[in-house]
Amino acid sequence: MQIDASSAELAVQAPAKLNLFFEVLAKRSDGFHEIETLMCPINLYDTLYFREEPGGQLELKCQWVPGVSANHNSQQDARTSSGDEADAEIEDLPNGDENLVVRAVKLLRERTGVRAGASMRLAKRIPIASGLGGGSSDAAAALAAGNEVWGLGLSPNQLAKMGAELGSDVPFFLAGGPAICRGRGERVETIAGVGTLHFVMARPPVGLSTAAVYGACRPARQPRKIAPLIEALLQGNLNEIGRLLWNQLQPAAERLTPWIGRLREAFAREDVLGHQMSGSGTSCFGLCRDAHHARRIARRLEAGGAGSVFVVQSCR
């Protein structure tokens, strides 16, 4: 997450994420699942613009960046500039309490007693219902922005505890960098020393409900170990990283939509080092040797009708 406070309007770059490892360990008594996952932020960003409003009102306007929509985006290098975002508002982006950004800011005010308001604009690039964590990242950006603009001085740990009340992935986006997440995802252990990873990612023209995917998944009887993948990451062994990618949710998602199987087969025809679905889907990704390799595979996937295709890399 990157914060730019150089102008009167604070800008926060909220990254997407990929799950390089995802194991479902058990169903919990609170209705959630006990998981162990390794998440990696990538340089595909939503941008939250945040300005203080002394009158106390909260206002949010959501919009897709020009050329980007909820279900389609042509092949692109996901690194973006902070240029003009004034596109027409899209109806499928909520602006009220159903948006995690608004809920995050309201929670922050409730816990700190802040009376000031905020005018916010959310420029969307991360596809929705795609397993990329866009909503959670936006919520984390809202907490970080409110903390900065309102001068609250809350620690990252304090913000993460609030974030966990909003969504399981929110604390991850407040941590920065690759991390192992446990519990229902809110217990975050960052990993230092991981080099840059390059990916090609495809998001089909359909999304999946996270609840539906979990409902169709059964916890592993013999859970896979995450340690070998961590070792490969720290050694920079790309071939081994590709071999150890794992997502226990993928078979369940394949039963809910034929698109996951189609993407699995499309990636299998390419010379990626490994491939799988991210989170609860529907985005799938392939690990590449470098950015040139990723761009070459992206052109082939897009020509084959794989949906929205992105060239991305890991970031901090």
Q: Give me the helix-helix angle, 134-149 and 100-112, nearest 10°.
A: 40
For the stretch 292-297, contacts whose Cβ atoms lie closer than 8 Å and that sit 24 or more positions apart, written own/partner, are: 293/198, 294/198, 294/199, 294/200, 295/77, 295/200, 297/200, 297/270, 297/271, 297/272
Domains of the chain: 2-190 (3.30.230.10), 198-313 (3.30.70.890)
Instruction: Please choose, from the candidates 153, 46, 65, 163, the residue with its C-alpha nearest in 3D space to the C-alpha of residue 105.
Output: 163
3-state secondary structure of 72: coil
pLDDT of residue 92: 67
Average pLDDT (147-157) is 96
Per-residue confidence band for 91, with pLDDT thresholds at 50, 70 and 90:
very low
pLDDT beyond 50 at 79: no
d(CA 22, CA 40) in angstroms, rounded, equals: 12
Handedness of CA 9, 174, 245, 243 (dihedral sign): positive
β-pairing, 179-183 vs 33-53, is antiparallel
> Using 50, 70 and 90 to split pLDDT, how confident is the model at 19?
very high
**What pTM was computed for the model?**
0.91
Cis peptide upstream of residue 282 (ω within 30 degrees of 0): yes
Q: What is the pLDDT of residue 185?
A: 94
The tens digit of pLDDT for each residue in 233-253 reads 999 999 999 999 999 999 999
Which candidate, 137, 130, 150, 206, places its Cα nearest to that of 176? 137
Q: Taking 70 as the threshold, does the pLDDT of residue 71 lie above it?
A: no
44 to each of 15, 25, 33, how far by Cα in Å? 6, 29, 27
Ranked by mean pLDDT, the top range of 52-56, 62-66, 118-122, 208-212 is 118-122
Q: Are 66 and 73 in contact (CB under 8 A)?
A: no
SS3 of 180-244:
EEEECCCEEEECCCCCCCEEEEEECCCCCCHHHHHHHCCCCCCCCCCHHHHHHHHHCCHHHHHHH
pLDDT attached to residue 142? 98
The neighbour count for residue 208, using CB atoms within 10 Å, is: 25
Chain position carrying tokens 């799950």:
19
Mean pLDDT calculated for residue range 89-99: 70
* Catalytic residue annotation: 17, 169
Q: What are 294's two structure tokens?
A: 């990723």
Strand order in the sheet with 274-277: 76-77, 308-313, 198-203, 284-288, 274-277
pLDDT given for residue 6 in this prediction: 67
* Residue-level length of the chain: 316
Q: How far apart are the first and last CA of the chain?
A: 7
State residue 298 phi and psi, 5-degree precision.
-60, -40
**More confident position, 221 or 312:** 312
Is residue 80 pLDDT above 60, yes or no?
no
Q: What is the CA 35 to chain-centroid distance, rounded?
A: 17
Please tell me the predicted confidence (pLDDT) of residue 68. Answer: 64
Instruction: Please report the pLDDT score of residue 280 as a whole number.
Output: 96
